Amino acid sequence: VNDLAGISGLIIPGGESTVIYMLLKKSGMYEKIVEMAHSGLHIMGTCAGAILVSRDTGDKQVEGMNLIDISIKRNAYGRQINSFIQKINISGIGNFDAVFIRAPEIESTGNSEVLGLENGKPVIVREGNIMALTFHPELTGNTGVHELFVSGITG
């Protein structure tokens, strides 16, 4: 928990949302992250991270942090074998080759700003200091999503 002191931004990565959730709860970081987000900490949740920052995870085992007004469904795009890369257009970035791996689906966006769609479905959204995306931008050579996140911190 002490490692969070003084940070301006946090990326909650992809992985297994139930495991990340349990580790954050056990370490006390879950509550601290929520508290810091309410005080202005910028957070980008990718894939499992998007599930964690959501209002509704659609999973009884994972309590969303309720930091962004979205409901999300785990593994909506299928199993690992169904992973794919899709060119999407992201507001403020342009074309981006998004990598979807056992990706969740954003089912409702509430007050969130939709920054990009894949097949008509929101895949990157932003609300204030929180961004959520269902794909893995770190698996491409394009730093546009990370630059967009950092620009929100640095103004």
Residue 80, pLDDT score: 83
Q: Which two tokens stand for residue 83?
A: 């992973």
Tally of domains within the chain: 1
Q: Give how far Cα 142 sits from Cα of 13, 113, 136, Å.
A: 17, 22, 11
Residue 1 lies in a domain: no
Q: Residue 86: which pLDDT band, with cuts at 50, 70 and 90? A: very high
Q: How many helical (H) and strand (E) elements, i.e. helices and strands, does the chain have?
A: 4, 10
DSSP character at residue 1: -
For the stretch 21-33, pLDDT in tens is 999 999 999 999 9
Task: Give start and end residues of each alpha helix (H) in the chain.
Answer: 17-27, 29-38, 48-53, 144-154
Task: Determine, yes or no, domain membership for 3.
Answer: no
Per-residue confidence (pLDDT) for residue 81, from 0 to 100? 82
CB atoms within 10 A of CB 120: 5
Question: What is the pLDDT at residue 11?
Answer: 98
56 residue type, one letter: D
Q: Which domain holds residue 13?
A: 8-154
Active site residues: 47, 136, 138
Residue range 38-85, pLDDT digits in tens: 999 999 999 999 999 999 999 999 999 999 999 999 988 877 888 999
In a domain, 20, yes or no: yes
CATH number at residue 41: 3.40.50.880
| pLDDT score recorded for residue 100 | 96
Residue 145 located in a structural domain = yes
Segment 108-123, tens digit of pLDDT: 999 999 999 999 999 9
Q: For residue 112, is it left (φ>0), alpha (ψ between -120 and 50) or beta?
A: beta
Q: With respect to residue 63, please indicate whether it lies within any of the assigned structural domains.
A: yes
Q: Does any domain span residue 120?
A: yes
Between the CA atoms of 20, 24, 25 and 28, what dihedral angle is there, to the nearest 10 degrees?
A: 170
Look at residue 29 in the predicted model and tell me its pLDDT: 97
Tokens of 75: 């593994």
Q: Cα separation of 39 and 33, whole Å?
A: 10
pLDDT (0 to 100) of residue 1: 85
Percent of the chain with pLDDT over 70: 100
Q: Is 2 within a domain?
A: no
Cβ within 8 Å of residue 30, ≥6 positions away: 21, 24, 65
Q: Which of 73, 2, 7 has its CA nearest to residue 37?
A: 7
| Cα–Cα distance for residue pair 54/72, rounded to 1 Å | 7
Residue 77 resides in a domain? yes
Grade residue 34 by pLDDT with cuts at 50, 70 and 90: very high
